[in-house]
Amino acid sequence: MGGSIAVTARRANGEVIRMCRWTNPLPFFIQDARWIDADETHLDEYLEQWNSMRADYEKNEPGNYEFNMTDVYAPYPFLAPHGYGLVVIDYQTHTLLTMQGYSSLIEVFPDTFRNVNPGPLPEDVSPLISMLAMSQEEQAQENARVMGLFKRKCLYVMPRGADNLDAATLVPDLETAQSLVSDKEAWWNYRFFIKPDPWKVRRFPETPDGADEFHDNLIDLGFQFTSQENDLWGEFRNQWEDA
């Protein structure tokens, strides 16, 4: 299902972009060779919808927004947990920091490889594209995203139940991945991950101590908070203490 989540990105030049976004596109943004390569044009694409909603929110009155979800996301540009939590993407230090329960961000859903056709798309819209509600352009973009992971040699697999990513083995190509997930009864025997070197991934539990550690890590990285943001961190922390 998904929902709202706070996302902050810091560009290599130090610009900090605070957002509230829908959870669902976020793993696809991270599971992309362009993100691993710190290609900020990839970030620009992710920002397009946010920038449009913010402009809509600032220009128009409630009830007259151009986009249906403007009033859900645009009012909450804070460097603080919101909805599912918070993800911070720091291009200056190549650090991904996350405190949320929606996605591991680096684990790739096995069905990803069943949906890829690296060759030219047919003229007619296939049943698969219809099922996924993808246009042919969107399917082509998804094909390119997945094939980019193989090209960069950053996709790994390990048996489900194993917990040491260092023991995972490289998945060299689409054919290998598809062979592992071809049997519908066996495909859940494997877990696929990206190894996003040189990025470092820091995870924090959704607890008061986890929130404190996350907040302290951001300070150590040079992020600054407004008084309102510090209040929001306190509210988030308190909700876990009261749970």
For position 16, what pLDDT does the model report? 98
Tokens of 176: 């290998």
Is pLDDT of 242 > 70? Answer: no
Same domain, 12 and 99: yes
Averaged over 94-121, what is the pLDDT?
86
How many residues does the structure list for the chain?
243
Contact 134, 146 (CB under 8 A): no
Is pLDDT of 183 > 90? Answer: no
Cis peptide before 198 (omega within 30 of 0): yes
Same domain, 160 and 175: yes
Q: CB 18: neighbour CB atoms within 10 A?
A: 18
Same domain, 112 and 102: no
For position 203, what pLDDT does the model report? 97
Same domain, 189 and 205: no
Q: Which residues pair with 83 in a beta bridge?
A: 5
Is pLDDT of 231 > 90? Answer: yes
Mean pLDDT across the chain: 89
Tokens of 33: 């060779």
Same domain, 11 and 51: yes
Same domain, 150 and 179: yes
Same domain, 164 and 189: yes
Averaged over 121-137, what is the pLDDT?
53
Tell me the pLDDT tens digit for each residue of 143-180: 999 999 999 999 999 988 887 777 799 999 999 999 98
Show which of 176, 194, 212 is a domain's final residue.
194
Same domain, 54 and 145: no
Q: Label each residue of the chain as H, E or C.
A: CCCEEEEEEECCCCCEEEEEEECCCHHHHHCCHHHHCCCHHHHHHHHHHHHHHHHHHHHCCCCCCCCCCHHHHCCCCCCCCEECEEEEEECCCCEEEEEECCCCCCEECCHHHHCCCCCCCCCCCCHHHHHCCCCHHHHHHHHHHHHHHHHHCCEEEEEECECCHHHCEECCCHHHHHHHHCCCCCHHHEEEEECCCCCEEEECCCCHHHHHHHHHHHHHCCCCCCHHHHHHHHHHHHHHHHC
Same domain, 10 and 61: yes
Quote the number of domains for the chain: 2
Same domain, 130 and 207: no
Measured torsion, CA atoms of residues 191, 195, 199, 201, in degrees rounded to the nearest 10: 30
Same domain, 153 and 201: no
Show which of 159, 178, 194 is a domain's final residue.
194
pLDDT band at 223 (very low <50, low <70, confident <90, very high): very high
Is pLDDT of 107 > 70? Answer: yes
Tell me the pLDDT tens digit for each residue of 27-71: 999 999 999 999 999 999 999 999 999 999 999 999 899 999 999
Is pLDDT of 132 > 70? Answer: no
Domain that holds residue 136: 108-194
pTM of this prediction exceeds 0.85 = yes
Percent of all residues in the chain with a pLDDT value above 70, rounded to a whole number: 89
Same domain, 8 and 60: yes
For position 187, what pLDDT does the model report? 67
Is pLDDT of 185 > 70? Answer: no
